């Protein structure tokens, strides 16, 4: 059975930062308290401290990177949300244009942060978006135009037929969009490097210090098992691990699962066959296969259940079967590790940010819907805007309505299976199938 308690992952076994933060064991006063130590919490903390907010505390139930931020594929991708068309009806043409302005800035922010703080995140540039048929080729040609319009200094090239093998060694694809401004990194090292930068500038992080009770007011009080924090502002950034601690937020998302495997180290020849550019890849189907090679010549291969919601009983085998459909020549390759984790999905599949309706000093970010690695770097800037002086990006994104998911306590699997079915049908309409 999948362990979501304390998963061992590629990231936990290869991390380069040996950082440990104390438990909160006393009562402290800060300007901002952040609950949740993933990309959302740490990145927003760093954004705030860079803007001059000096007194910030991040509380984390386990360790920094325990959640999705330490379990994902490590893909640095284009965009800040699944199909922007889903939110067009809420934000209108102008709102969509405003979002589009920042939609592709994630890779740039990651690149700048790595340089600024000298973060050792094994970053590699080179990405392929992959298709299986003519409809997906049409979609990828459209993406080529869009991406080129906002990335004129980056190599972006549509590939078809045998040319696809220039970037990925598989017979299953008929087309690809090569994007050399996207790529992959070691997401836990990226997160820990950012956490280090945050604490070096005076930010405080407390691990194994869950928020267990929160009282709102002009001064917010957060209680942990052994201490407490008083703050003027609070940010909820708990991802799929919020539970019911904040009922207003808990209603707005529903958790589904994604899984990953890590192969044994492969020879240089096999890695070259898998990907001459040592890149990261995802297909464009509604539920994607996504994979990449690592610095140690391993393949990380991930996916999620496409139609019905369940946790496979043998994760290594389940992922391996999918991997062999794409790379049959890996049939003798040993799978060293497999893991997974929950991802909180919003009804629009777009990240949710905003204020608590009754408490304007309470902010939140959640709902990345399985696409948060790159987007969280952009969205955290927008959340920091919202917590400070505001911005047009905050205004547009925070005003997107957030539908509640009713009945998830009793009918979670049914709701998710239905949602996945609809998502697959929509895939036909938007060229993803």
Ligand X SMILES: Cc1cc2nc3c(=O)[nH]c(=O)nc-3n(C[C@H](O)[C@H](O)[C@H](O)COP(=O)(O)OP(=O)(O)OC[C@H]3O[C@@H](n4cnc5c(N)ncnc54)[C@H](O)[C@@H]3O)c2cc1C
Q: Which two tokens stand for residue 416?
A: 């998710």
CB of residue 92 to ligand X, shortest distance in Å: 26
Residues 63-82 that bind ligand X (CB under 6 A): 66-69, 71-73, 75
Cα 188 to Cα 120: distance, rounded to the nearest angstrom? 10
* 59 near ligand X, judged by CB under 6 A: yes
3-state secondary structure of 412: helix
Helix (H) or strand (E) segment spanning residue 119: none
Among 299, 100, 101, smallest CA distance to 184 is for: 299
Q: Identify the bridge partners of residue 364 per DSSP, sorted by sequence position.
A: 236, 354
With binding defined as CB under 6 A, does residue 341 bind ligand X?
A: yes
Q: Name the segment binding ligand X (CB under 6 A); options: 129-137, 156-164, 326-334, 366-374.
A: 366-374
Among positions 210, 279, 354, 427, the unique one binding ligand X when judged by CB under 6 A: 210
Query: Which long-range contacts link 152-159 to residues 24+ away (Cβ below 8 Å)?
Result: 154/179, 154/180, 154/181, 155/179, 155/180, 155/181, 156/180, 156/181
Element (H, E) at 418: helix 408-429
Should residue 397 be labelled a site residue for ligand X when binding is judged by CB under 6 A? no
Interaction mask 245-264, ligand X, x per CB under 6 A: x------------xxx----
Please state the closest distance from residue 267 (CB atom) to ligand X, in A.
25
Phi, psi dihedrals of residue 124, rounded to the nearest 5°: -135, 130
Helix axes 187-200, 106-117, angle to 10 degrees: 60
In the bound complex, what is the minimum distance in angstroms from residue 332's beta carbon to ligand X? 25
The residue (of 77 and 277) whose beta carbon lies closer to ligand X is 77
CA 208 from chain center: how many Å?
22
Compute how many residues bind ligand X; rule: CB under 6 A: 43
Least distance to ligand X, CB of residue 399, Å: 20
39 interacts with ligand X by CB under 6 A: yes
For residue 211, state whether it binds ligand X (rule: CB under 6 A): yes
198 binds ligand X (CB under 6 A): no
Query: From CA 37, how far away is CA 39, in angstroms rounded?
Result: 7
The residue within the footprint of ligand X, chosen from 17, 38, 205, 347 (CB under 6 A), is 38
What is the distance between the alpha carbons of residues 114 and 194, in angstroms, rounded to a whole number?
8
Contact status: 371 vs ligand X (CB under 6 A): yes
Could you say which of 33, 37, 57, 197 contacts ligand X (CB under 6 A)?
37
| Cα–Cα separations (whole angstroms), residue 209 to 123, 224, 268 | 31, 6, 43
203, 370, 386, 431: which one binds ligand X (CB under 6 A)? 370
Closest Cα to residue 289, out of 313, 266, 322, 334? 322
Place of tokens 């906002």: 150
In the list 302, 354, 386, 431, the residue contacting ligand X (rule: CB under 6 A) is 302
Q: Which pair of structure tokens corresponds to residue 227?
A: 């201490």
Q: Does 40 bind ligand X (CB under 6 A)?
A: yes
Stretch near ligand X under the rule CB under 6 A, chosen from 118-126, 316-324, 368-376, 383-391: 368-376
Judged by CB under 6 A, the stretch of 62-70, 110-118, 269-277, 402-410 that binds ligand X is 62-70
Least CB distance to ligand X at residue 274 (A):
17
As to burial, measured by CB atoms within 10 angstroms (0-12 exposed, 13-18 middle, 19+ buried), residue 243 is exposed
143 or 371: CB nearest ligand X: 371
For residue 72, the minimal CB distance to ligand X (Å) is: 3
In whole angstroms, how close is the CB of 7 to ligand X at the nearest point? 9
Q: Are 109 and 381 in contact (CB under 8 A)?
A: yes
Kindly tell me which of 68 and 431 has the beta carbon lying closer to ligand X: 68
354 binds ligand X (CB under 6 A): no
The residue to which tokens 């008929």 are assigned: 174
- In the complex with ligand X, the residue whose CB is nearer, 242 or 254, is 242
- List, in order, residues 6 or more apart from 258 with CB less than 8 Å away: 72, 302, 303, 304, 340, 341, 343, 370
Q: Does residue 241 touch ligand X according to CB under 6 A?
A: yes
Identity of the residue, 103 or 137, whose beta carbon is nearer to ligand X in the bound complex: 103
| Residues near ligand X (CB under 6 A) | 35-41, 59-62, 66-69, 71-73, 75, 210-211, 237-242, 245, 258-260, 290, 302, 340-341, 343, 368, 370-374, 376
């Amino acid at each position: 059975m999948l362990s979501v308690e304390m998963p061992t992952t590629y990231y936990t076994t290869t991390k380069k930062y040996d950082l440990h933060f104390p438990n909160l064991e006393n009562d402290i006063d800060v300007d901002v308290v952040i609950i949740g130590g993933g990309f959302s919490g740490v990145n927003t903390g760093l954004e705030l401290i860079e803007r001059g907010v000096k007194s910030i505390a991040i509380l984390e139930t386990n360790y920094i990177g325990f959640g999705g931020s330490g379990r994902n594929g490590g893909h640095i991708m284009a965009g800040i949300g699944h199909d922007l068309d889903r939110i067009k009806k809420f934000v209108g043409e102008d709102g969509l244009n405003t979002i589009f302005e920042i939609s592709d800035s994630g890779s740039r922010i990651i690149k700048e942060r790595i340089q600024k703080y000298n973060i050792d995140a094994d970053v590699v540039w080179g990405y392929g978006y992959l298709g299986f048929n003519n409809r997906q080729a049409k979609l990828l040609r459209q993406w080529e135009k869009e991406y080129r319009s906002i990335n004129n200094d980056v190599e972006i090239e549509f590939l078809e037929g045998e040319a696809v093998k220039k970037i990925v060694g598989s017979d299953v694809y008929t087309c690809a969009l090569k994007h050399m401004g996207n790529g992959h990194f070691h997401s836990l090292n990226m997160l820990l490097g950012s956490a280090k930068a945050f604490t070096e500038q005076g930010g405080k992080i407390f691990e194994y210090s869950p928020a267990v009770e929160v009282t709102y007011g002009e001064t917010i009080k957060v209680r942990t098992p052994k201490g407490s924090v008083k703050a003027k502002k609070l940010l909820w950034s708990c991802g799929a691990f919020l539970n019911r601690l904040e009922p207003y937020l808990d209603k707005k998302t529903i958790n589904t699962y994604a899984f990953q495997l890590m192969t044994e180290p492969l020879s240089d020849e096999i890695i070259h066959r898998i990907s001459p550019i040592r890149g990261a890849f995802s297909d464009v189907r509604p539920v994607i296969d996504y994979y990449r090679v690592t610095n140690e010549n391993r393949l990380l291969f991930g996916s999620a259940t496409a139609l019905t919601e369940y946790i496979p009983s043998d994760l290594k085998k389940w992922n391996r079967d999918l991997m062999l459909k794409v790379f049959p020549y890996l049939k003798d390759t040993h799978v060293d590790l497999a893991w997974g984790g929950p991802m909180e999905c919003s009804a629009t599949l777009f990240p949710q940010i905003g204020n608590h309706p009754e408490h304007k000093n309470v902010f939140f970010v959640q709902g990345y819907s399985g696409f948060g690695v790159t987007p969280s770097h952009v969205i955290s800037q927008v959340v920091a805007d919202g917590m400070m002086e505001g911005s047009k990006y905050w205004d547009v994104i925070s005003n997107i309505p957030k539908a509640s998911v009713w009945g998830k306590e009793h009918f979670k699997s049914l709701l998710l299976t239905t949602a996945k079915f609809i998502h697959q049908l929509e895939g036909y309409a938007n060229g993803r199938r």
